[in-house]
Chains A and B, each alone.
Chain A
C-alpha cells in the first residue's frame, strides 16, 4: 500500500508530495492499524483559512492486495488526531518532492467561468 500526501496552499503556494510504500517500512502493521483508525468517510468540515495548507491524503493499495483505497482532502486546521499522525509518519518516512504546482491538473481555458 502506498500512502501519498500532497500539501498545497500556504502563502507560497508551493506544492510538496511525500510517498511511502508502507509494506517496505519496518512496522507495516502499525501503519495499517492507523489507516484503519482514520474516519475516511467523515473528515471534519472546516472552511479554508487564507494561506493555510491543504492536505490531500491517498492510500493506493498495490495490485492484487485486499486493502481498500482511500482518499481525503483536509484543511490544515482539520489535521488532528489520527489524520495528523498519519501525515506526520509519512513526512518522517519520506523525502518531499516539490511539484510544479498543478497537482496533475490541466491548463485549459475555463468555459463558463467568470462569476
Chain B
C-alpha cells in the first residue's frame, strides 16, 4: 500500500540524517573556494536527499545560524492566517514553490468545483483534498528539482485538481487543465488520491500535452499512457527514496479495496500480473510487442499496449540500478522535450529517440545507452531499426 509522505511539521524535531541540511548548505556555499569537491558533493546531496529529509523531519538550524535563517525568510508570507513552512535556506536559490489549487466537485460532474484549498493553506481534514494537495507537491518536486522544469507549463503555472467528482465515480483523469478524481465505488475502488503514482500519472498527461503531444490513440496513445506511468512511478520512487531495485514499479497500489485480488492497476516491470480477480478478471496488459493488442476499444488499447514500453523502461532502470529518475527517467524526459517527437510517432520511433537521447546525455556505448537498448530489445523492439 502506498504510504503518503507527511509534510514536514513546524515544530523542530531531532534530525535522523547524520548531516543536517543546514550544515550541508553551509558546506555547499562556504566551502567552494577551498574545497570544491566537498562543495559540489554537498550540493548534490541536498538535491538528492531533500525528499527523504523532509520525511525524517529535519531539525532547525542551531542558534548561531538562527539569525541567517530567519533573515532569509521574512518575506513571502502573504498567505492568510495559516502556518506555512518556509522553504529551507539553500544554495539552490529560492526553493521553487508550487501554486496548488484543490477544488471539490461535491459529487457533481461540473468542473472545476468549489475551491477548497490553496497553496500554503493548512490541511482541511478532507482526506481526498489533502492527499491531492500533497501528491501535487510531490510531483512538482520531482519535475522542478530533478528535471528543472518550472511547473507543468514551464511558467510556474498553477497545479489544479478537483476531487469528489461524480457519484461513486470509479476513475481519475486529466481534462487538459486539471486532474480530476472520483471517490471510487467503495466496492472495487476505494479512491484515487491515496496513490502517488496515480497523481503523478495524471499530471504527466499535462507534461506530454505540453511537450511531445502524443496523440491519444493507437501506438502514440499507448506511448502517451506509458509516459504517464513512467512519471507516475518516478514520483512515487522519488518521494519514497526508492531505487530501481526497491521500487514496486506498480501504478495505483492502494486504489483497490481489500476485497479485490490485486496489487495495483498495472505493473511496469511485469505487465499482466497486477491483478487476477474473479470479478475484475486478469490484468490484460501485454509484456512484449508480439502480443500487441489490436482493438477498437480504449482508443486502440492505449491502457493495454502501454505495458510493452513500460517493461522496457523498468528493465533498463533495473539493469542500471540506483535511482531511476536520475538516469532512465532523465533520458525519457530529454526525449519528450527534445522537440523531435511527432504526435503520431509509434514505438519504433520513440525507442530510437530514447536511444539517441541516452547517447547524447551519457555517451555512445555508455552503460545507460546500452541499458536502454537492451530494455527495448527484451520487449521485441529494435531501437536501431529506425535511426533517429
Residues of A participating in the B interface, judged by any CB pair closer than 8 Å = 6, 8-15, 47-54, 56, 73, 98-110, 113-115
Complex contacts, B1 vs chain A, CB 8 Å: none
Are B174 and A101 in contact, CB atoms less than 8 angstroms apart?
Answer: no
Give residues 184-200 of B contacting A (CB, 8 Å).
189, 192, 198
Are A51 and B296 in contact, CB atoms less than 8 angstroms apart?
Answer: no
Residues of B participating in the A interface, judged by any CB pair closer than 8 Å = 170-176, 189, 192, 198, 201-202, 205, 216-221, 224-225, 228, 252, 255, 265-266, 279-282, 284-286, 289-299, 301-304, 342, 344-350, 385-386
B27 to chain A, nearest CB (A): 44
Are A50 and B219 in contact, CB atoms less than 8 angstroms apart?
Answer: no
Q: Say whether, besides A114-B347, A114-B385, A11 and B198 are in contact (CB < 8 Å).
A: yes
Contact for A6 among B297, B349, B386, CB less than 8 A:
B297
Are A107 and B292 in contact, CB atoms less than 8 angstroms apart?
Answer: yes
Contact for B173 among A8, A47, A51, CB less than 8 A:
A51
Q: Say whether, besides A101-B284, A115-B220, A54 and B174 are in contact (CB < 8 Å).
A: no
Complex contacts, B304 vs chain A, CB 8 Å: 13, 101-102
| Distance A113 CA – B220 CA, assembled complex (angstroms) | 10
Complex contacts, B295 vs chain A, CB 8 Å: 102-105
Are A99 and B281 in contact, CB atoms less than 8 angstroms apart?
Answer: yes
Q: Name 23 interchain pairs, CB-CB below 8 A, sorted by A.
A: A10-B170, A10-B171, A11-B171, A13-B285, A13-B304, A49-B176, A50-B173, A50-B174, A50-B224, A73-B296, A98-B280, A98-B281, A100-B284, A103-B298, A105-B293, A105-B294, A107-B293, A109-B290, A110-B292, A113-B292, A114-B349, A115-B346, A115-B350
Q: Say whether, besides A105-B297, A114-B348, A13 and B174 are in contact (CB < 8 Å).
A: no
Are A13 and B290 in contact, CB atoms less than 8 angstroms apart?
Answer: no
Are A52 and B173 in contact, CB atoms less than 8 angstroms apart?
Answer: yes
Are B174 and A56 in contact, CB atoms less than 8 angstroms apart?
Answer: no
Question: For residue A11, which residue of chain B has the nearest CB?
Answer: B172
Are A8 and B297 in contact, CB atoms less than 8 angstroms apart?
Answer: yes
Are A115 and B348 in contact, CB atoms less than 8 angstroms apart?
Answer: yes
| Distance A109 CA – B265 CA, assembled complex (angstroms) | 25
Complex contacts, A50 vs chain B, CB 8 Å: 173-174, 202, 205, 216, 224-225, 228
Are A11 and B296 in contact, CB atoms less than 8 angstroms apart?
Answer: no
Q: Say whether, besides A105-B294, A114-B346, A14 and B280 are in contact (CB < 8 Å).
A: yes
Question: For residue B189, which residue of chain A has the nearest CB?
Answer: A12
| Distance A50 CA – B204 CA, assembled complex (angstroms) | 10
Question: For residue A110, which residue of chain B has the nearest CB?
Answer: B292
A15 to chain B, nearest CB (A): 7
Q: Is chain A's binding surface mostly helix, strand, loop or mixed? A: loop
Complex contacts, B350 vs chain A, CB 8 Å: 115
B136 to chain A, nearest CB (A): 16
Question: For residue B172, which residue of chain A has the nearest CB?
Answer: A11
Complex contacts, A12 vs chain B, CB 8 Å: 170-171, 189, 252, 255, 265, 303
Are B386 and A114 in contact, CB atoms less than 8 angstroms apart?
Answer: yes
Beyond the given pairs A51-B174, A99-B281, A100-B281, 10 more chain A to chain B contacts, judged by CB atoms under 8 angstroms and listed by A's residue number, are: A11-B173, A11-B201, A13-B266, A13-B302, A52-B173, A101-B304, A109-B292, A115-B220, A115-B347, A115-B348
Are B296 and A103 in contact, CB atoms less than 8 angstroms apart?
Answer: yes
Q: Say whether, besides A11-B192, A12-B265, A48 and B284 are in contact (CB < 8 Å).
A: no
Q: Say whether, besides A11-B173, A11-B201, A110 and B294 are in contact (CB < 8 Å).
A: yes
Are B294 and A108 in contact, CB atoms less than 8 angstroms apart?
Answer: yes
Complex contacts, B266 vs chain A, CB 8 Å: 13
| Distance A54 CA – B292 CA, assembled complex (angstroms) | 20
Interface centre among B171, B174, B175, B349 (most CB of A within 10 A): B171
Complex contacts, A51 vs chain B, CB 8 Å: 171-174, 201-202, 205
Are A115 and B284 in contact, CB atoms less than 8 angstroms apart?
Answer: no
A82 to chain B, nearest CB (A): 17
Interface centre among B173, B289, B292, B342 (most CB of A within 10 A): B173
Complex contacts, A99 vs chain B, CB 8 Å: 281
Interface centre among A106, A107, A115 (most CB of B within 10 A): A115
Contact for A107 among B189, B217, B291, B297, CB less than 8 A:
B291
Complex contacts, B296 vs chain A, CB 8 Å: 56, 73, 103, 105
Are B219 and A113 in contact, CB atoms less than 8 angstroms apart?
Answer: yes
B132 to chain A, nearest CB (A): 14
Question: For residue A76, which residue of chain B has the nearest CB?
Answer: B173
Contact for B216 among A48, A53, A106, A109, CB less than 8 A:
A48
Question: For residue B181, which residue of chain A has the nearest CB?
Answer: A11
Contact for B289 among A10, A104, A106, A109, CB less than 8 A:
A109
